[in-house]
Structure 1
Amino acid sequence: MTDLSHTRVLVTGGSRGIGLGIARVLARAGASVAVTARSGDALAAAAAELEALGAPQVVAVPGEIGSRAGAHAVVEAATEALGGLDVLCANAGIFPETRIGDLTEADLDEILAVNVKGTIFAVQAAVPALTASGRGRVVLTSSITGPLTGYPGWSHYGATKAAQLGFMRSAAIELAPARITVNAVLPGNVLTEGLAELGEDYLASMARSVPLGALGTTDDIGHAVAYLASREAGYVTGHALVVDGGQVLPESPEALAGP
């Protein structure tokens, strides 16, 4: 396992789902971890779980990141509590299902605020501490939906995930002189609380579309993030790592039918 001892990490949206999975893997690798979320109860439970895994330090920071002020407040509180920051995992995101014809301005404003503004402003807030670290890492949680695939009802979500990658590429160039790398992971269908709410039939159909025959786990995403957060990944920047069990590969369902 990648050794992240003496590494200070902030995971936004870290109280459940992929964010908590990322935090678990990083904690097991020896990192000090701050997690943020809106829900106090879920955040406290996540922090307790991470402490039980033996993380050197665990910090819970409640807050909203959908505005510049909110994102800066969260990042600055986490950085102060950890005594600095080496890695920002900009993971916080929402994925409401809404068809194009039903989208309201409020729907679009909400998802753009959390998924795009929250990502950009969290990175902006973290730059001073990541620069001081001398080995700063930014890892964004994007998705295969938007950059590589599409699905009815998630056009607005896909747009935000593609926007994150557009930001990543230019940010990687801009922050390179400060020795900060900026990369992204693109999860396929990962078994989380949110995905489970879509029902067993949906889960089964999604598993059938994956060449490896199963949905991913949050640990699968966490291990990819751990690599991008490591010293070993110091020469990797501006790239998106797909973690999807081969989901984007088949040309058609027939490609998975076997011989």
Structure 2
Amino acid sequence: MGHFTKILLASICVGLVAVRWTAPTFDAESLSGARVLVTGASTGIGEQIAYHYARFGARIVITARREKVLQQVAEKCMSLGAQEALYVAADMGNELDPDKVVDFALEKLGGLDYMVLNHIGPSPFSMWNGDVEHVRWLMKVNFFSYIQMAWKSLESLERSKGSLVIVSSLLGKMTSPFVAPYTSTKSALNGFFGSLHHELSMKKSNVSITLCTLGLIDTEAAMEKVREITSVPAYPASEAALNIVTAGAMRQAEVFYPWTTYVVTISKDWFPSLTDYIIQNTYKYNP
């Protein structure tokens, strides 16, 4: 190992240790009574996010498309300790619904301290077949509705010194096969909210932005898609959700879950050919 490489690796280790020991600690009491909006909360990661906020005693508004399922999640949130748990059904592919949801949360909660944007539209796990209309629709759901809701909520979050929490994906930082439409939406999220983070900081805004980079999570929807196609390990949705909630509460600019996703993003830049080889041989392709 060369002298420069040793110095570089030592510097990275020192930097990681410094971040570890200087990072703020999570104060669970800070979420008691917090006013929270969680999207995509009927199942999967969003559902688990809602449950964690409930355990910390937050006041919660949840949204997704299926009203009956939302009602069940809201009832469970109350049983877990939420001070309030309300729901509103919405379709983020409808241009009016993102604003409707934010207006509902602002009216019912009297403002927002946290907005967790987590919803996604369904997309096939397969080779892209040239369906441009699907990509356009998915961008509306997975991207444009996010920026619409962020803008609608900024004034309230500014007053409360609140946080925007954006649930993204490792696939927004590095590409892989079978997910071209989905990856494009997550890349757009990273670019937009990364830029907005700089702008808010330059304006000395009270609003923090947390970008959440997730690996493969063991939600039912994800597991159904990747079964027998990839050997990539999946991680528990509840633990991913807890990382998202605590990162937002600590106003972290970015969180990676599991931690190996951070290593993978580095390997892409340092060893691009090797990373491509590993990715392409991690998935099964049957033409």
The normalised TM-score by structure 2 is 0.76
Contact kept, 8 Å, 1:14 with 1:92, in 2: the verdict is yes
Aligned twin of 2:173: 147
Q: Which has the larger radius of gyration?
A: 2
Give 3-state SS (helix, strand or coil) of 1:102's partner.
coil
- Aligned runs of 1:100-249 on 2, under 5 Å? 101-133=128-160, 135-148=161-174, 150-176=175-201, 177-198=204-225, 200-202=227-229, 205-207=231-233, 215-230=234-249, 232-233=250-251, 236=252, 239-247=253-261, 249=264
- Distance (Å, rounded) in 2 between the aligned partners of 1:183 and 1:68: 25
Query: Which deviates more, 90-99 or 150-159?
Result: 90-99
Which ranges of structure 2 fall in alignment gaps of 5 or more residues?
A: 1-25, 268-273, 279-287
Between structures 1 and 2, the one with greater helix share: 2
Q: CA deviation at 1:151?
A: 2.4
1:76 counterpart letter in structure 2: D
The normalised TM-score by structure 1 is 0.84
Taking a change above 3 Å as real, the CA distance of residues 222 and 103 of structure 1, as seen in their structure-2 partners, is same
Deviation readout 1:162-192 (Å, 9 max, x if unpaired): 1101111221133343300011111111111
2:242 counterpart letter in structure 1: H
After superposition, the CA RMSD in angstroms is 2.1
Q: CA deviation at 1:221?
A: 1.9
Question: Match for 1:75 among 102, 115, 119?
Answer: 102
Deviation readout 1:136-158 (Å, 9 max, x if unpaired): 1001010001313x222201111
- Distance (Å, rounded) in 1 between the aligned partners of 2:86 and 2:41: 11
2:254 counterpart letter in structure 1: A
Query: Which deviates more, 111-120 or 45-54?
Result: 45-54
Taking a change above 3 Å as real, the CA distance of residues 158 and 95 of structure 1, as seen in their structure-2 partners, is farther
Give 3-state SS (helix, strand or coil) of 1:124's partner.
helix
Contact kept, 8 Å, 1:86 with 1:136, in 2: the verdict is yes
- Distance (Å, rounded) in 2 between the aligned partners of 1:99 and 1:187: 20
Q: CA deviation at 1:68?
A: 4.6
- Distance (Å, rounded) in 1 between the aligned partners of 2:181 and 2:254: 20
Deviation readout 1:11-67 (Å, 9 max, x if unpaired): 011111111111111111221111101111221121122111110000101112235
Question: Match for 1:63 among 82, 90, 105?
Answer: 90
Q: Which fold has the larger relative contact order, with Cα–Cα distance below 8 Å and residues 6 or more apart in sequence?
A: 1
Contact kept, 8 Å, 2:125 with 2:225, in 1: the verdict is no
For the pair 1:33 / 2:52, whether they are aligned, the reply is: no
